[in-house]
Amino acid sequence: MPIEKITYAKGHQKSNSADSAVKDHGRNLENRGAYEAYIRSAPTGTWHTNERDSKEHLTVDFKKEDGEHVTTHHVYRPEGSEGK
C-alpha cells in the first residue's frame, strides 16, 4: 500500500517536493505496511542538513494505519528540486 497520508510537524513548511520525495521513498516500505509519513520539524522549517548528514533531507517517521511506528528515515531531496 502506498503512503496515503503525509503530516508535517507544527513548524514545518509544506512543499510539493517534500510530498513527492516522501511518497517515492515510501514505496520502499510498502511491504512493511507503511501508510502514513510524519515529517519532523527542523530548525529551518524545511529541507536541511546537519553535521552527520551533509545531503539535504527531511527526517520522516513512517507509521502503519493504526499508528504503529514502522521506521524513521532521512528522505533526500531529489536532484533538480532545489527551491521547490
Domains observed in the chain:
5-76 (3.30.160)
Listed ranges 5-9, 10-14, 43-47; the one with the highest mean pLDDT: 5-9
Taking the whole predicted model, whether its pTM rises above 0.75 is answered as yes
- Provide mean pLDDT across the span 28-53: 91
SS (H, E, C) the chain: CCCCEEEECCCCCCCHHHHHHHHHHHHHHHHHCCCEEEECCCCCCCCEEECCEEEEEEEEEEECCCCCEEEEEEEECCCCCCCC
